[in-house]
Amino acid sequence: MESLSFQIKVPGSTANLGPGFDSIGMAVSRYLELQVHTADRWLFSSHSKDLAGIRTDESNLVAEVAKHTGKELGITIPPCHVEMTSNIPLARGLGSSAAAIVAGIELGCYFYEKPVSPSYKVRLASLWEGHPDNVAASVYGGIVIGTHSDESTHVLPIEAPELDLVFLIPEEEVMTKKARSVLPSELSFPEAVKAGSVGNVLTAAILTGNWKVAGEMMGKDLYHQPYRKHLIPLLDKVLSFAADKKEIYGAALSGAGPTILCITKKGRGSSVATMIGEAFEGMEIDILTPAKQGVQLVTNSNR
């Protein structure tokens, strides 16, 4: 069989934006990139510090997802050598596992003879991940709003907004499993109604481009942030700081944390980052933008 080679580029993501829990995601300008070559066995390599310690054989998440995708499509995925680079930090709430899942699906779909729709890729990814927010953002780019169940997945992609995103990235990791373990098993009916109304206003504000209101709703989440704040002691302080600064639309945990997202007007990222750095010393601060494009495939040879 002729050796085939291609590249895959997947954006990271931030999820929830406060009350959009497990539903709203935004692609961001950090990336997982794969150089893929067909080979006689699976082999993964990387020189990126954010991928230190990855599995180098077919037990790598990307390979597992690719092989599963092949089964779903009724094809066999050949072994590949995969060189990976990434600047998406692991277990920091920036969609590293979702990016790997989307990369695996894209790798598997490459070997299918027919085009595979983004909605089908999102369905496969959501079944693997359990929710659509991060994976759909990495597939489509921009902002996504979705719902997922065992029976179906529905996602609406929205064009990337013109914003600056300022992230406070702590050194410590917070594993998603641990962050989910502190969530309540149920909410009372009045609590659910109140939480849902905040989420509804967040959605309406995003759709109408009213980021001042969206930012306010981000800080009023009742689904997950109140229960996770003891895992991220800085959260309450940053939410209060953001609420007092007119330059910042709003702040929220990025995914399960510990990274915290602050949203500001396009062009204000540097000044907001300086302001945050002076208030919270010793934190890694990164200025990103919403990624307009989702997963990209570049081929180097004919199939």
Cα dihedral 238, 241, 242, 244 in deg (nearest 10): 160
Report phi then psi at 37, rounded to 5.
-135, 130
The reply, when asked if residue 96 is annotated as ligand binding, is yes
Pairing of strands 80-86, 24-38: antiparallel
**Residue 86 marked ligand-binding:** no
Asked if residue 251 lies in contact with residue 260, where contact means CB atoms within 8 angstroms, the answer is yes
Beta bridge partners of 38: 80
Annotated binding-site residue? 97:
yes
117 labeled part of a ligand binding site: no
Question: What CA–CA distance (Å, rounded) separates 209 from 83?
Answer: 39
118 among annotated binding-site residues: no
Q: Is 94 annotated as a binding residue?
A: yes
Q: How far apart are CA 282 and CA 276, in angstroms?
A: 11
Give the C-alpha separation, 217 to 196, whole Å.
Answer: 11
Find out whether 89 is annotated in a ligand binding site.
Answer: yes
d(CA 218, CA 205): 11
Is 99 assigned a ligand-binding role in the annotation?
Answer: yes
Q: Is 237 exposed, middle or buried (0-12, 13-18, 19+ CB in 10 A)?
A: middle
**In the numeric block, which tokens belong to residue 13?**
């993501």
* Binding site feature residues for ATP: 89-99
Annotated binding site: 89-99
